[in-house]
Amino acid sequence: MKSISTFEEYKKEYQFSVEQPEQFWEAKAEQFTWKKKWDKVLEWNFSEPNVKWFLGGKMNITENCLDRHLKERGDQTAIIWEANDPNEASKKITYKELHSEVCRFANVLKSNGAKKGDRICIYMPMVPELAIAVLACARIGAIHSVVFGGFSFNSLADRIHDADCHMVITADGGFRGAKDIPLKSVVDEAIKTCPSVQKVIVLKRTKCDVIMQAGRDLWWHEEVKKVSDDCSAEIMDAEDMLFILYTSGSTGKPKGVVHSCGGYMVYTTYTFENVFQYKNNEVYWCTADVGWITGHSYLVYGPLLAGATTLMFEGIPTYPDAGRFWQVIDKHKVNIFYTAPTAIRSLEAMGLNFVKPYKLDSLRVLGSVGEPINVEAWNWYNANIGKNRCPIVDTWWQTETGGIMISPLAGITPTKPGFATLPLPGAQPVLVDEKGIELKGNNVEGRLCFEFPWPGMIRSTYNNHARCKEAYFSTYANLYFTGDGCRRDEDGYYRITGRVDDVIKVSGHLLGTAEIESAINEHPDIVESAVVGFPHDIKGWGIYAYVIQEHSRKDVEELKKEITATVNKFMGAIAKPDKIQIVSGLPKTRSGKIMRRILRKISEGEVNNLGDTSTLLDPGVVEEIVKGKV
Ligand code: 7RM
C-alpha cells in the first residue's frame, strides 16, 4: 500500500483515522488476501473488554507473508541470517524457499498431531528455523507461544503450563557471544512439571550433548525428511488467536497477551511501512530477539507481510567486539536499523574506535524501541551512526499494543531528541491524572491511555479474561491504560517518562519485580525480599533487591552470590540483581504492605526526600536501610 509521504498527508490521514476509523482501517485491510471479506469492520467496548476487528473475515497470515509475494518477489531474499560467529557463513533465504520450508515444517507439526487451536511453545535461538517454526504454527492455525531463550526452566515451565502446550519446539543449544546456551536441557527440566507436553522437536544447532527421550523427543532434521513441502494454509477467522506472548505484570506471574490474526496483520504492516518508510529491495534489520514482541511484529510478521528483506542476527552487539553491529551493517548493506537504547548506550561507552572502521553509508533510517532514549544517546546515535543524515524514529509501543503507537514517520515527522513525537494514524492517546481526569490541551503530564481501539491491540490474557480487564481496562473507566507516565509538550509532542507501576525495564526487557522476588525467595535462607529499580547508566534501570535472611550469616558476600545464582537458575540471567542489600526488616504499613515507594527512593539515592512515612509500622527499619545502602 502507498505510504504517507509528507507531514501534511500525515496530518490529514490522522484526522481521517479519528473521524472515520472504520473506513480508515477497512481501506488498509483491502490489500491483503482474504478468503472471505469481513462483514463488519469493528465491534468494541472497553468495559468487558470486547474488541473485534474485521468480523467474519477469513484469512491466513502466512498466505499474506509468503504465498501473496511469490509471483512478484519469489526470488527476492526474505531473510538474511547472520551467525553469532562472524566466520560462519551467513544465509539468504528467498521468499520461495521460506514458503517451502514453512510448509514443510507445518507438515511436521501436523504429522506429530498438532492442529488448529493447539498451543505450541517455541524456545529457540535466533536462527532461521525460529521464524520458520513461528510461521509453520500460523500456517496450520496453531497458536505459538515463543519464550525468550534467556529465560530459565522455571519461567519456561510457568509459560508452558499456563498455555497448556502439548508441543515444544527447541534446539540442542544456542550460541550467544562466547557462550553456549543449553536450551534442550532447560526444556527437559521445565517439562518435568508440565505433563501436558507430548512432543519436543529439537533443532541441531550447537551439536552439544542432549538426552532424547524416546517417543517424546524428535530431531527437526529427521522429521522434515518425512514430509512434503505442500501444505495449504488453514483458514482462520480474523479474530482467531494468532499467538500468545507472555509479559510481566506488576503482580503475580506473567500474563499471556493474546493477539488475533486479522487485526494484527493489518496493523503490523501499516505501521512497519509507514514508520520506517520501507522501500522495495531495502535491507531492514531489527536487532530484537523473536522472544519479545518487537521480534514478532518487526522482525518476522511486519517485514514479511510488507515483502521486505529482514535481517536476523544470532549474536550479541559486543561479540567478537563492540563493532559487530556496524560490521554487519556494512556487510549486508543495511538500510534501516532498529535497536534499543540500552544497546546504543553500551556501545557508546565502548568508544568510537569500534565505529570508525565502518562506512555505515548504506543506512537511511535509524530506529529506537523499548525504553525512553535519553538525549545523550539520541545525539550519539544520530551523529556517529546516522552521520547526521538518517532520521531517527523513537517508537513507543508495548507487547499489548501489538505494534507501534507513537512515533515519528521517518524523514516526515520533525523529530525532537527524547520524544516519541506524535501518535500514528489510528492511535488516540489521552493523558489522565491519577484519578482518571483527562488532562486536555498541551503542556501537561500524566498517565498514558488510549480511548479508541486499534486493530493490533490485545484481545485478552490467555485463559483469564478477567485479568486482562483488571490490568488494562479497570484503572480508568473506558480507557486502555498503558502503565506509562507521559508528557505532552507545547507542540503536542509526546515524551514517555517511564513506568508508573511495579515493572521495570532492564536493558529494554520488561521484568516484574514480583517475579524477581519469587525467584530470590527460592533460596532456602531467604525469608522475604523486595525488588525495585534504580537508574542505571547503561541498562536504563538496574535491579535492587532488599532481602531478609533466616539466620544471620557472617559471609554476606557468599550469600549474595548464592542469591544471584538462584535468580539465574530459576528465572534467567536477565533478572540477576545488580545490587543486593541484606536487611533485618522491610518498611511496611500497619496492614503489612511493603512501602515500595520508600524503597524506590532509597535505591534512587533520594534518602532525604522519602515523602510521607507516617503510616510506617516501624520507622527504625528505614533508618537501618538507609545506613546500609549499597
Ligand atoms: C516494544 C516493547 C513496553 C514498555 C512500555 C514503555 C517502554 C517501549 C518505548 C518505551 C519510552 C519508547 N514492548 N517503552 N518503547 N518507553 N520510549 N520508545 O518494548 O511490552 O516489552 O515494553 O516499554 O514503558 O510500556 S514491552
What mean pLDDT is predicted for residues 280-295?
A: 98
The residues lining ligand 1, judged by C-beta closer than 6 Å to any ligand atom, are 247, 292-294, 369-372, 394-399, 420, 482-484, 496, 499, 505, 510
Ligand 1 mean position, distance from CA 420 (Å) = 11
Nearest to 149 by CA among 316, 33, 8: 316
**Model-level pTM?**
0.97
DSSP 445-492: EEEEEESS--TTS--EETT-HHHHIIIIISSSTTSEEEEEEEEE-TTS
Domain ranges of the chain: 506-627
Residue 508 Cα: closest atom of ligand 1: 19
Q: Using CA atoms, how far apart are residues 427 and 419, in angstroms rounded to an integer?
A: 16
pLDDT > 90 in the chain, percent: 94
> Which CATH entry fits the domain spanning 506-627: 3.30.457.10, 3.30.300.30, 3.40.920.10, 3.90.550.10?
3.30.300.30
> Which of 292, 325, 316 has its CA nearest to residue 511?
292
- In the reported structure, the alpha carbon of residue 273 is separated from the centroid of ligand 1 by a whole-number distance in angstroms of 20
3-state helix, strand, coil in the chain (%, to 5): 35, 25, 40
Q: What is the pLDDT of residue 612?
A: 82
Average pLDDT, the chain: 97
CA distance 611 to 589: 14
For residue 324, report the distance from its CA to the centre of ligand 1, in Å. 25
Model confidence at 252: pLDDT above 90: no
Per-residue pLDDT band for 590 (boundaries 50, 70, 90) equals confident
Q: What are phi and psi of 165, to 5 degrees?
A: -75, 140
CA angle 583/584/590 to nearest 5° reads 110
Name residue, grid cell 550447537. 206
* pLDDT single digits (tens) 90-130: 999 999 999 999 999 999 999 999 999 999 999 999 999 99
Q: What is the pLDDT of residues 37-47, one digit of tens each?
A: 999 999 999 99
DSSP for 351-412, please give it.
-GGGTTT---TT--EEEEESSPPPHHHHHHIIIIISTT-S-EEEEB--GGG-S--B-PPTTT
Query: Which pLDDT tens digit goes with each residue over 320-372?
Result: 999 999 999 999 999 999 999 999 999 999 999 999 999 999 999 999 999 99
pLDDT value, residue 240:
98
Q: Tell the burial category of 445 from Cβ atoms under 10 Å away from its Cβ (0-12, 13-18, 19+).
A: middle
> What is the pLDDT averaged over residues 200-219?
98
Spatial separation of the C-alpha atoms in residues 216 and 376, rounded to whole Å: 52
Distance 510 CA to ligand 1 centre (A): 8
Query: DSSP per residue over 432-450, as a string?
Result: E-TT--B--SSSEEEEEEE
3-state secondary structure 148-211: CCCCCHHHHHHHHHHHCCCEEEEECCEEECCEEECHHHHHHHHHCCCCCCCEEEEECCCCCCCC
